[in-house]
Structures are given as structure tokens and as C-alpha cells.
Structure 1
Amino acid sequence: MIARRLRFSFFIALVSFALVRPALLHAAALETLIIENASGPISFEVEVMRTDAERQRGLMGRAYLPEKRGMLFDFGAPEDVRMWMKDTPLPLDIIFIRSDGTIARITKGEPFSTRVLPSGEPVLAVLELNGGTSAKLNIQTGNVVRHKLFGTAN
């Protein structure tokens, strides 16, 4: 009976590890990013995607993004950017950010959509947050994003 319980416990531990391990492999170190709006600063913890491979993977396949968490895509130099939501099960707010840290455009990303979401102008980065966060926190175009990428960190 005890051996049976031990085997069952071991099986549960293996299954748990198998389920958690992919999420850990995709998670990058978190950095603080602040958006300043009319109400004051709003702090987020973000994963920064700097390589082509990281940017291509993004939030694909992730079923959950904690509140006040996001993903910042660093393109290295300002460029016209196109995003899409293929293989992304989460609704997202997609925030296009100029090199000076100001928000150029905010658009909604629908889960699994292959619709192309253009920046509309050259941007240095894109921030992805849970869908509805921008409206809930009154984040708007023109707001300033503070992060070392833009030289605007406090």
C-alpha cells in the first residue's frame, strides 16, 4: 500500500514538472517598466525579447499572463513593425513605442488572429499587456514609457 502511494506521488510529481517546465523555459528575467499617464506612474514587470528568435516566439502558446506583467519587444533600432497573434491564445493590448519612450499607437490583439497589426510609423519597441489593461488603466497614445531601453528609466 505504501509503495503504491509512493509510485502515485512520484507520478504526480513527474506530471507536474512536465506541465510547469515549458513555462519556465519560455520565461525571461523580469525588468521593471513604468508607464506615466494622467493619473501617475503605473509599474509593470516585463520580459524583454531582444533576439529574432525571442521576438518570433513572444507569447505564443501561453495561456496565462499575470496582472501587471507584460512582454517588451526590443527591435534594436526604430523600424516599421508588424505584429500578429497567430498561436497566441491570450487577448492582448499591443502598444507601439517610439525611441523617445512615447506611445505611438495602441491596438487590440485577438487570440489566434493572423491579421497583421502595423505600427503605422517607425518604433523601437512593442509592449504586450493583457487585453483591456490599457482601457482599464487609462493608458493612451502620448503617454511616456520609462525603461532603460528608451533612456527614460528613473
Structure 2
Amino acid sequence: MNYGDYSNRRYPIIKVGAHRPQFRAAHPVWRVTTVLFGLVVTLCVLFAGNVPAQETEAQPILPGVTLMIDGKPLKTEIAATSQQRYMGLSFRPSMADDAGMLFVYDAERPLTFTMRNTLIPLSIAFISADLVINEIHDMDVGPNQLFDSRNIAMFALEVNQGWFEQNGIKAGAQIVMQ
């Protein structure tokens, strides 16, 4: 028997570490998932608590114009940009009796308003492109309310609730800008 010659013997091949489960981090799906998760966590950390002030405070007083509605003057702020329209009268604790906000759109279309973050009861008039009031609705304070125009409108005018009624203004009234 030759003890130095092992070439004829068959030994079982045992892979080192074969008893451990293989880590799958190198798989492309895991890489993409890890990167996306990291990105989401990073964005959450960066923006946590950084809600813009405009989302929690009233917007500054906007430039305005005086409207004459059936001979009654009304000082109105003009909300012409999408951000100004979005904020509207949100977070305002009050509004002068002879004041309002005119929401201006670039074309006539169906409009929908809400009382999101609005602290004062309002009335809204939906107004056509030729500055005629189509309809008037009262809007009470509270979330989860939608106020839709029945007809297409190019403008909406928000005032203190009851202002239209107190001034005898109804649908069909003509508005003149001064």
C-alpha cells in the first residue's frame, strides 16, 4: 500500500460555507429596492416638519380692486395665480364687512370650492366671463364640503356670509370693476 498516492481515492467535495443561507443583497431587485427606500427615508428626514408657512398661515393681503355690484361697492383682493386661489381665505380669522376675494381663472369652466382651513362663514358667487353673477351659495365653516358651480364660470367672489342678501344682490346682477 502506497500512502503517498491519493490520486485514486474519492473524497466528498464539501463547499465551505454551504451550510449558511446566501445573502441576496447583490440581486438587482434588492439593489433597486434598497436605493428607493434610502431615497424615501432621506426625503422624509429632509422635509419632516418643514411645512411651508403658507400652508399653515393666511396668505398676505393681495392686490385688489373695487367692484361695483348693483351700485354697492366691494373692496376685493384678487387671487389670480393657482397658489393664491389654493390658499384663498384660509386661516384668516375675519374679513372686513365691505371686503371680499375675487378668484380669477383664465377661461370659463365648472368651478369647485371648499372651506378647507377657512375660519369664517362665507357666501360665494360664481360669475360668468361677462361679469354677471350666475349663482350664489352660502358656505358654512367645516371640512369635507364641496361647493360646485352649476354653470361654467370664469370668476368666483367670496364675501362674508350674508353680504349678498344684505345688499339685495341676486343672480343676474352685473359687476363693474373700477
Please tell me the TM-score bracket, short chain as reference: 0.7 to 0.9
- Letter of the aligned partner of 1:64 in structure 2? S
**Given the alignment of the two structures, is residue 48 of structure 1 paired with residue 48 of structure 2, yes or no?**
no
If the length of structure 2 is used for normalisation, what is the TM-score? 0.66
Q: Deviations over 1:52-111 (max 9, x none)?
A: 000000000001100110000001110100001011010001010001111101001111
Residue equivalent to 1:140: 170
How much has 1:113 moved relative to structure 2?
Answer: 3.3
Aligned to 2:106: 76
In structure 2, the gaps of 5 or more residues are 1-56
Match of 2:138 in 1: 108
Match of 2:64 in 1: 30
Runs of 4+ in 1 over 4 A off after TM superposition: none
Aligned length: 122
The residue number in structure 1 matching 2:147 is 117
For 2:160 and 2:143, locate their aligned partners in 1 and report how far apart those are by CA, in whole Å.
16
**Structure showing greater Rg:** 2
**1:30 shift after superposition:** 2.4
Task: Considering fraction of residues, name the structure with more strand.
Answer: 1
Q: CA RMSD in A?
A: 1.3
- Tell me the distance in 2 between the aligned counterparts of 1:31 and 1:108: 23
- The sequence identity of aligned pairs, in percent, is 26
Unaligned runs of 5+ in 1: 1-21, 148-152
